[in-house]
Amino acid sequence: MSLAARCCARLLPQALQLRPPSAPCSTISSAKKYINGVHLHYQQTGKGDRGVLLLPGALGSSQTDFGPQLKSLNKERFTVVAWDPRGYGHSIPPQREFPLDFFHTDAKDAVDLMQALDFKKFSLLGWSDGGITALIAASKYPSLVHKLVVWGANAFVTQEDIKLYNAVRDVSRWSENMRKPMVEMYGTEYFAKTWAAWVDGISEFEKGAAGNICQDLVPLIKCPTLIIHGEKDPMVPRYHPDYLHKHIRGSRLHLMAEGKHNLHLRFAKEFNCLVEEFLISSD
């Protein structure tokens, strides 16, 4: 039996007790909150007592990055929020910039948004850049973060990583499936310009910070942490999840043999079941 089948088999009886088959799924609402000088866009769904924030990747948004999670994560157990960081998605203006502290700015925005939405404590699910933001938030605001799930994330960058980023700098060479939602969201010019600025910005960590993004903060994370890694991820080499697993005390590392960078989209059912089981399990 596959992992997805095992997870769903364990969760199904509980889900049936909580939500009768005839009960409709809750709707997905969209709104904005004025946080730290910016109107941040977010989507929210579910009515559970466990708050969960979904943090998107570079140039990502709730709309482009988390459709299967907003649709299918258990809405009786969780209240799910997916946000657009400043300069991304529908949180424009402002235009996005990438100084060396941009991950820290995102982390504070994310935590302040959840507090403004009246969540006393919440879990973080961070993909790629959103995973880095989540790592920083969990380390700096330990009293607020209940559990942490990251995938496609890294605490530092190397010259090898920079080569990978530069190889995809030209967005006109992206596959149609990868490029289309970004062009629809941003338009061709803003997308290309902002992506190139991201590559330049992330490269500055290797040049000006000895590669360190949040290595000093990772050991400070105390909450239960699940690290998921796709073994076929072309953007994040295996040494990154191994580093996180080694330096986050008590963390779990789950490897998906066929997973790539967007494993939560391609293998959404397996991912959602894995995450739900982790979030509802006792500490």
Which residues are marked as active site? 128, 233, 261
Please tell me the distance from the alpha carbon of residue 182 to that of residue 14, in angstroms, as a whole number.
Answer: 37
- Residue type present at position 7: C
Backbone angles phi, psi at 228, to 5 degrees: -110, 135
Backbone angles phi, psi at 132, to 5 degrees: -65, -45
Please tell me the distance from the alpha carbon of residue 263 to that of residue 151, in angstroms, as a whole number.
Answer: 9
Q: Please tell me what DSSP assigns to residue 33.
A: E
Q: Please tell me what DSSP assigns to residue 267.
A: T
β partners of residue 237: none
Per DSSP, the three-state class of 249 is: coil
